């Protein structure tokens, strides 16, 4: 067979959504490269996806349906036919649905971000069934909802324009590890004289390369934004015309901000008053000034308010007037009108039914709940796809206990035997991105992409779309939409304004959007203004952490270290942890701890330590490092439990309390103690 090159798109939960070129020889994918013609990708991929053939042809791929034969969590399974697996699932789900279909819960997130293999046929299936709805909150809903409340949508600057900025605040983002293609543009700006300032509790690889690093305490970003506002007011670095014409609610916030002197701000944030003053001076006097905010900073109690406060800053100084000024947290709202979720997901299949909604972030508690009038029926079945909740959801002791319930029927669609698959009754082999068709939007740029299948499915693996088609047939769902093939779904996914032919031909199309979208206001709010005072939310404020010396002093005496759990550079959430060459780079699970915290605890570099609080404990190696500031430890994630030390990972100690906006988990709002492991 001739060597061919196939166009694809990276499916992973990363803002960059790279365009791929896959080289196929004799029906086998031998190389995965970045598309040199796709402007955001410019021919480069991260280390993780450059090794995609290693992941695709991994000897431990699940390639046949499996039925559990050992206790839950034991990982003991036997192969079964597709017919037997689908038949057994349909029989079990029918019996539960006859009592109450809400006892069945779909559980999925961004294991693939594809519109087809994510929520298309799967959503149709669960809507038709009347299953519980899932609130998909685990990563970004605090910041996403906060941004939408302020700007009217998840919209922001164009990625490429950062190259022309003269000041870039990289706020809550280790771009080199998790937003590489933004970093390329930031470097270009740096070469042209821009100042780069990293705002992050951890001294990341990105902080190393910036001109300045402001290592604030976790969860104090909102306080810093208020402190900056006061300095902008006091020094009159405000764009009064922009504020008057394009914002609503500034006078009330201005009054609130005036209480945030540099000294008070510095005390709350754990930085110096001069850092506050200098940052405000840089931001108030440099044009164009840009902010790249990322989701790390919103994984705390006050994450939503913090995003609202930071999002106001570009309006106060009129940064939006320039294409290279403004802010980007998410670009996903730009795709509104260019994707058709209703056509794909068919919520009309619910009819008049209004099922309850389960928050994916509190599945640990919810799996252990009995039936009640407030909660509804006890959860009797879970169908998990594109997610690994046993590893990634907070407070794993409860999650594991829930997944281990003998009376819970669990189906998992997967590539590998993850911690979650180990707890399944039936595991179904899923295709990877190289083996199926998909369409992708992005939350870091404004291009739509199409992913062609490059190779035939390995073994007996099937696309998620096909699995839910077969399940629908076995359940007796005979609506014509369950017979749509993937090409039909790919057409249905696109909004009216998309050139489908160009998308098929080139693999990607750029959305037709203005270069400086809010230069003259025009935010997608009802008034076209930035809503500082947002309906139902009021004026934003600093919201302290659930757990901190300030909010819970007694707890902080017992657990004095604040823990954050940012992603390890070579993993993407829990994906890639089982790829040996990437795991070898990471070595072992580790916690970065400053010498000032390690020495009094008798912790040496490389020692095995126990990180613990009242919820649980996990083991890892200590790395004495100035990447951690005193008082804060960084436990890099997210290791599979069974590949970590003693079958644990960082989520043993995180909690299920939610953010102020968006019902999201507050992973980085967590007090712990660290001690040498005995």
Name the residues that contact ligand SF4, by CB under 6 A. 10, 12, 14, 16-18, 45-46, 48-49, 180, 572
Nearer of residues 14 and 664 to ligand SF4, judged by Cβ = 14
Nearer of residues 175 and 465 to ligand SF4, judged by Cβ = 175
Distances (CA, A) of 106 to 23, 133, 468, 483: 35, 7, 12, 21
d(CA 181, CA 190): 14
Q: Are 165 and 194 in contact (CB under 8 A)?
A: yes
SS3 539: coil
Nearer of residues 46 and 658 to ligand SF4, judged by Cβ = 46
CB of 50 to ligand SF4, least distance (A): 8
Nearer of residues 16 and 221 to ligand SF4, judged by Cβ = 16
Nearer of residues 17 and 388 to ligand SF4, judged by Cβ = 17
Nearer of residues 181 and 321 to ligand SF4, judged by Cβ = 181
Nearer of residues 118 and 402 to ligand SF4, judged by Cβ = 118
Q: At what angle do helices 303-316 and 250-257 cross, to 10 degrees?
A: 110
What's the distance, CA 608 to chain centroid? 29
Give the distance between the most distant pair of CA atoms in the chain: 72
d(CA 40, CA 179): 11
d(CA 195, CA 323): 17
Q: Are 625 and 555 in contact (CB under 8 A)?
A: no
CB of 574 to ligand SF4, least distance (A): 14
CB of 15 to ligand SF4, least distance (A): 7
All residues at 6 or more sequence positions from 144 whose CB lies less than 8 Å from its CB, including other chains: 154, 329, 330, 332, 662
Q: Beta-carbon neighbour count of residue 190 at 10 Å?
A: 18
Q: Are 411 and 445 in contact (CB under 8 A)?
A: no
Nearer of residues 151 and 334 to ligand SF4, judged by Cβ = 334
First-to-last alpha carbon distance for the chain, in angstroms, is 59
Structure tokens at 276: 């506050």
For residue 438, which of 448, 447, 450 has the smallest C-alpha distance? 450
Find the helix or strand (DSSP H, E) in which 633 lies: strand 632-635
CB of 45 to ligand SF4, least distance (A): 4
What does the DSSP assignment read for 270-323? TS-HHHHHHHHHHHHH-SSEEEEE-GGGGSSTTHHHHHHHHHHHHHHTTGGGST
Q: Beta-carbon neighbour count of residue 39 at 10 Å?
A: 16
Q: At what angle do helices 141-151 and 303-316 cross, to 10 degrees?
A: 40
Nearer of residues 49 and 315 to ligand SF4, judged by Cβ = 49
d(CA 437, CA 392): 27
Residue 375, phi-psi category: left (phi > 0), alpha (psi -120 to 50), beta (remainder) = alpha
Nearer of residues 47 and 551 to ligand SF4, judged by Cβ = 47
CB of 573 to ligand SF4, least distance (A): 11
CB of 49 to ligand SF4, least distance (A): 3
CB of 654 to ligand SF4, least distance (A): 24
SS3 438: strand
All residues at 6 or more sequence positions from 334 whose CB lies less than 8 Å from its CB, including other chains: 153, 155, 446, 511, 513
Main-chain dihedrals φ then ψ at residue 159, nearest 5 degrees? -55, -50
CB of 88 to ligand SF4, least distance (A): 35
CB of 38 to ligand SF4, least distance (A): 10
b/e map 340-357, b = 16+ CB within 10 Å: bbebbbbeebbeeeebee
CB of 572 to ligand SF4, least distance (A): 6
CB of 449 to ligand SF4, least distance (A): 10
**What is the length of the chain?**
678
CB of 668 to ligand SF4, least distance (A): 21
d(CA 179, CA 269): 25
Nearer of residues 442 and 659 to ligand SF4, judged by Cβ = 442
d(CA 463, CA 432): 8
SS3 74: coil
Nearer of residues 180 and 577 to ligand SF4, judged by Cβ = 180
CB of 111 to ligand SF4, least distance (A): 12
Helix, strand, coil tally for the chain in percent (to 5): 35, 20, 45
CB of 205 to ligand SF4, least distance (A): 14
CB of 444 to ligand SF4, least distance (A): 8
Nearer of residues 443 and 468 to ligand SF4, judged by Cβ = 443
d(CA 70, CA 40): 47
Nearer of residues 113 and 194 to ligand SF4, judged by Cβ = 113
Nearer of residues 15 and 288 to ligand SF4, judged by Cβ = 15
Tokens 């006061």 appear where? 230
Alpha helices in 40-140 (DSSP H): 47-50, 52-56, 82-99, 121-129
CB of 42 to ligand SF4, least distance (A): 11
Nearer of residues 50 and 278 to ligand SF4, judged by Cβ = 50
């Amino acid at each position: 067979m001739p060597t061919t090159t196939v166009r694809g798109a990276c499916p992973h939960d990363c803002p960059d959504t790279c365009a791929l070129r896959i080289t196929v020889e004799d029906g086998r994918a031998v190389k995965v490269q970045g598309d040199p013609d796709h402007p955001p990708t410019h021919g480069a991929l991260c280390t993780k996806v450059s090794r995609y053939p290693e992941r695709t042809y991994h000897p431990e791929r699940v390639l046949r349906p499996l039925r559990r034969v050992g206790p839950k969590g034991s990982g003991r399974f036997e192969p079964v036919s597709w017919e037997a697996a689908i038949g057994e699932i349909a029989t079990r789900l029918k019996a539960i649905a006859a009592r109450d279909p809400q006892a069945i819960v779909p559980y999925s997130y961004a294991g693939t971000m594809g519109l087809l293999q994510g929520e298309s046929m799967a959503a149709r299936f669960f809507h038709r069934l009347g299953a519980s709805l899932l609130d998909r909150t685990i990563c970004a809903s605090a910041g996403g909802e906060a941004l939408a409340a302020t700007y009217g949508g998840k919209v922001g600057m164009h990625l490429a324009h950062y190259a022309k900025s003269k000041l870039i605040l990289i706020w809550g983002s280790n771009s080199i590890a998790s937003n590489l293609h933004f970093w390329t543009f930031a470097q270009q700006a740096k070469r042209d004289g821009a100042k780069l300032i990293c705002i992050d509790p951890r001294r990341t690889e990105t902080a190393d390369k910036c001109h300045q690093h402001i290592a604030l305490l976790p969860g104090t970003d909102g306080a810093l934004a208020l402190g900056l506002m006061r300095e902008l007011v006091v020094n009159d670095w405000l764009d009064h015309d922009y504020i008057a014409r394009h914002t609503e609610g500034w006078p009330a916030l201005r009054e609130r901000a005036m209480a945030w002197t540099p000294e008070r701000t510095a005390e709350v944030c754990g930085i110096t008053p001069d850092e506050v003053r200098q940052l405000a001076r840089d931001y108030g006097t440099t044009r164009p000034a840009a902010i790249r905010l990322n989701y790390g900073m919103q994984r705390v109690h006050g994450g939503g308010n913090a995003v609202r406060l930071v999002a106001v800053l570009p309006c106060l100084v009129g940064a939006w007037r320039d294409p290279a000024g403004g802010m980007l947290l998410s670009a996903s709202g730009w795709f509104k009108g260019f994707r058709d979720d209703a056509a794909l997901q068919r919520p009309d299949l619910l009819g008049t039914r209004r099922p309850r909604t389960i928050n994916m972030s509190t599945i640990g508690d919810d799996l252990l709940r009995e039936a009640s009038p407030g909660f509804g029926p006890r959860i009797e079945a879970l169908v998990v796809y594109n997610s690994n909740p046993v590893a990634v959801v907070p407070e794993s002791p409860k999650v594991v206990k829930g997944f281990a319930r003998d009376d819970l029927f669990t189906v998992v669609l997967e590539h590998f035997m993850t911690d979650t698959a180990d707890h399944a009754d039936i595991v179904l082999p899923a295709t990877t991105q190289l083996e199926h068709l998909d369409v992708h939007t992005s939350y870091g740029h404004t291009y739509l992409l199409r992913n062609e299948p490059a190779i035939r499915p390995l073994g007996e693996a099937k696309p998620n779309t096909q699995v839910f088609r077969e399940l629908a047939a076995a359940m007796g769902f005979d609506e014509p939409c369950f017979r749509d093939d993937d090409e039909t779904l790919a057409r249905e996914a696109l909004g009216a304004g998309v050139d489908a032919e160009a998308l098929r031909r080139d693999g990607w199309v750029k959305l037709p959007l203005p270069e400086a979208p809010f230069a003259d206001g025009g935010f997608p709010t009802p008034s076209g203004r930035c809503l500082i005072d947002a309906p139902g939310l009021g004026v934003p404020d600093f919201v302290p952490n659930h757990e901190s010396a300030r909010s819970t002093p007694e707890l902080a005496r017992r657990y004095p270290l604040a823990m954050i759990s940012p992603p390890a550079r070579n993993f993407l959430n829990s994906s890639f942890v089982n790829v040996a060459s990437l795991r070898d780079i990471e070595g072992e699970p580790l916690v970065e701890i400053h010498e000032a915290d390690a020495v009094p605890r008798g912790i040496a570099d490389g020692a095995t330590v126990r990180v613990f609080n009242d919820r649980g404990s996990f083991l890892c190696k200590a790395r004495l490092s100035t990447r951690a500031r005193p008082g804060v430890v960084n436990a890099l994630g997210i290791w599979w439990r069974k590949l970590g030390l003693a079958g644990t990972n960082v989520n043993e100690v995180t909690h299920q309390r939610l953010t102020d906006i968006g019902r999201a988990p507050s992973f980085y709002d967590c007090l712990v103690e660290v001690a040498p492991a005995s």
